[in-house]
């Protein structure tokens, strides 16, 4: 009997020492709105999204006491730049009522307009403000400039949770999409 108790105690001890499972977050809804169906004619292509190297990692990066901390157990569901691109595409499709192609999608080659977004700041502070600064450029397929802009936004999370922080970033991306959508010609 003693021999069977020792392995069970060892398993229990190891389980107690195991680190918690990571929690995954996304800025984007998992499905694009009806206006972004694959069969619809694509008028706008989001051709590139860049993010600062400091936050371009699988883990959430939080500013704390003047330094950036990598939160090992808090992770993005997909690469951050991809998640931002997906969120912007969905928000733009909703606001414009049309399909929006994403980076690398073949449908984007037929688009009338091309959009690039350079996220220059993507700050997260638990219990404090989240900040987003971005430059965006809208061009015609041939390269002629249509419009560009710089956006600086901040949003305070509803509480000190990671869920609230991610939601604050989602709201700022939605506002960025609203401002970009206003520049896209309607005809």
Domain extent listing, the chain = 23-181
Tell whether domain 23-181 is in CATH 3.40.50.10610.
Answer: yes
Q: In angstroms, rounded to a whole number, what is the distance separating the alpha carbons of residues 187 and 171?
A: 28
**How many Cβ atoms sit within 10 Å of the Cβ of residue 89?**
26
Question: In degrees rounded to 5, what are phi and psi of residue 78?
Answer: -145, 175
How are the residues of the chain apportioned to helix, strand and coil, as percentages rounded to the nearest 5? 35, 35, 30
Q: In angstroms, rounded to a whole number, what is the distance separating the alpha carbons of residues 73 and 110?
A: 41
Handedness of CA 88, 147, 105, 133 (dihedral sign): negative
Query: How distant, in Å, are the alpha carbons of 23, 132, 153, 160 from that of 127?
Result: 18, 16, 17, 4
| pLDDT value for 1 | 52
pLDDT band of residue 127 (cuts 50, 70, 90) is confident
Of residues 125 and 37, more confidently modeled:
125
Average of per-residue pLDDT values in the chain: 87
Record the pTM. 0.84
Determine contact, residues 135/51, Cβ cutoff 8 Å.
Answer: no
Mean pLDDT of 150-169: 94
Q: Sheet containing 145-156: give its strands across.
A: 99-101, 42-50, 113-123, 129-140, 145-156
Does 21 have pLDDT greater than 80? yes
């Amino acid at each position: 009997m003693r021999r069977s108790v020792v392995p069970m105690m060892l398993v229990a001890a190891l389980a107690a020492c195991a680190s918690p499972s990571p929690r995954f977050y996304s800025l984007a809804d998992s499905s694009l709105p009806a206006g972004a169906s694959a069969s619809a004619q694509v008028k706008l292509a989001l051709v590139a999204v860049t993010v600062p190297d400091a936050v371009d990692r699988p883990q959430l990066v939080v500013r704390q006491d003047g330094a950036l901390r990598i939160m090992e157990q808090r992770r993005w569901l997909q690469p951050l730049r991809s998640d931002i691109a997906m969120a912007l595409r969905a928000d733009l499709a909703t606001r414009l009522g049309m399909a929006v192609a994403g980076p690398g999608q073949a449908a984007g080659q037929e688009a009338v307009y091309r959009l690039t977004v350079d996220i220059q700041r993507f700050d997260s502070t638990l219990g404090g403000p989240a900040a987003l600064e971005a430059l965006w450029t809208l061009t015609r397929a041939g390269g002629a400039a249509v419009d560009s802009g710089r956006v600086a936004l901040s949003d305070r999370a509803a509480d000190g949770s990671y869920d609230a922080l991610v939601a604050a970033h989602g709201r700022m991306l939605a506002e960025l999409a609203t401002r970009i959508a206003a520049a896209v010609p309607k005809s």
